[in-house]
Structures are given as structure tokens and as C-alpha cells.
A and B are shown apart, each in its own frame.
Chain A
Amino acid sequence: MDRIPILKLGGVLIVTIQVDMHDRLALALEEDLTARIAGTGARGVLIEISALEIVDSFIGRMLDNIAAISRVLDAETVVAGMRPAVAITLVELGLELTGIRTALNVERGLAMIRDRLAEDDDLESARARHDD
């Protein structure tokens, strides 16, 4: 069975979904991402979906799950590039995915993740100074 490739760039895992996903593929992606976050200690996950023509409740749930799992594993998930028609349909469907952070495109998504990592690092170093 084919799987969706996951790229690692710095501390961020990047996934671009470009195929009409059947349910098993979506579940496989959820598992793979969970394993990669845990395995690499990645701090951010960026899921780019501008090629997706529909997001139904199953894929919506997958995105929600990935966001929730990554939060537990101390990583930030950003979904980038959702099409207008898909967004309207999801809202109509009753799936507002309020637990997920979103960005217009990959660039903005990466910037959001970096901002958050920088904040965390500032906190870290502040704490380190405090400890000295």
C-alpha cells in the first residue's frame, strides 16, 4: 500500500497531501506522523492540503487527531492552504476544526511554527539564566 511521504526540515515535519485519500491512507498517515514526531522529537508539523478537493468528516477527524496527538507530544500542528470551497463545505458539514491552527500557505505555516519555537526557546534560555 502506498503511503504519503513525510519530509523533515529542521525541527519541522512537512506533509503535502496531493492525492484523493482513501480512508486507509489517511489512517496510515496518522500513524506514520505519530511515529515520526515521537522518533525525531520534531516540534512542528505542517500539513499542506491545497491540492485537496474535498475534506470530509473522516479526513477532518484525521487532521484533528494529528493536531491533538502532536500537542501531547509537544509539537505544534499547522494545516496550510485549505481551498475556499473546502472551507465552506467543512463549515456547512459542522466541522470547524477549532483545535487546529491554520495558515494560508506553507510559508506562513512555517513562520507560525518558527515563531512558536522561538518563544519556547526564549522561555528556555530565560529559565536557564534564572537557574544560574
Chain B
Amino acid sequence: MPVTTTEVLPIRTSDDVVRVRQAVRVRAVGIGLGLVDQTKIITAASELARNTLDYGGGGEVRLDVMQEGARRGLRLSFVDQGPGIPDIARALTDHYTTGGGLGLGLGGAKRLSNEFHIESTPGVGTRVTIARWK
């Protein structure tokens, strides 16, 4: 899939989470997403960035603007070198949490995206990729 623009942002502090949201908003507006779709992808990004920070011990996110024919999309990849997720299926169920959260992060982000992909190796890290198409 042809990627037209790429941007990488660090996720080290809770201020970075805010910056990720703002960068995602700029990209979402740029590819012409409607207001509801913008809000969905920004919210999903916020959940995943917080996961990266809280559970992954920090990491980074890559924002890719994609073009496929007339369709444009935004892909976000959150990567950390944290402890990883031993049971992904369980982590995706609502209200499952190892931290203090509501446990809606992963499952919620999945519902808010058109594409969702997660790979995680215990002891090595986690990569969560989501995409939203116009």
C-alpha cells in the first residue's frame, strides 16, 4: 500500500499522549475524514498511546498517510519494548485490565478502527497497528 507521508512521535510522558492526539487530528483532517471518523481515530490513538506509556513503559508511534486509488487512509503503529501481552485474546476482552484502567483500551481501539492488528512477544514488546479509511 503506497504510503505518502510518515511521521514518528515518541511516547514517554502523558504530555506526549496529548501530542499524539494532536498529530493524529492534523493527519485525520488532512486526509478528509469526517468529524465522527476523526474523533474515532483520535480517541483510539489516545487509548493506544496510553497503553504504550502505562503498560509498555513508553515507546513510539508511527503515523502513515496511505493512498490506494482514490481512497486515503491513516495508519498508526504503536510500538513498545515492554513486557508484552501473554494472552492477547484476553487482553482484547472488555473490562480486562492489569492496570488501573477500565480495560476498554485495546477492545475499544479495535471497535473504533477499520483495521486492527496486534503482535506481542512476552519480554520483547508489543506492536499495535490500526487504520481508518476515508
Contact = CB atoms under 8 A, between A and B. Distances in A.
Q: Do A and B come from one complex?
A: yes
A61 B102 contact: yes
Interface in B3-43: 14-15, 17-18, 21-22, 25, 35-36, 38-40, 42-43
Given A57-B102, A61-B102, A89 B36 contact: yes
A89 B107 contact: no
Contacts of A88: 36, 39-40
Given A23-B17, A54-B42, A54-B43, A92 B111 contact: yes
Given A22-B17, A56-B50, A92-B111, 18 more contacts: A20-B21, A23-B17, A24-B14, A57-B101, A57-B102, A58-B46, A61-B102, A85-B36, A85-B38, A88-B40, A89-B43, A89-B112, A93-B111, A94-B104, A94-B108, A94-B111, A95-B104, A95-B108
B101 A58 contact: yes
A124 interface: no
A60 to B, nearest CB: 7
Interface residues of A, number: 23
Nearest to A88: B36
Contacts of B94: 94
Interface of B: 14-15, 17-18, 21-22, 25, 35-36, 38-40, 42-43, 46-47, 50, 94, 101-102, 104-105, 107-108, 111-112
Contact of B46 (A54, A83, A95): A54
Specify the main secondary structure of chain A where it touches its partner: helix
Nearest to B103: A57
A84 B17 CA distance: 23
A68 interface: no
Given A20-B22, A22-B17, A23-B14, A85 B107 contact: no
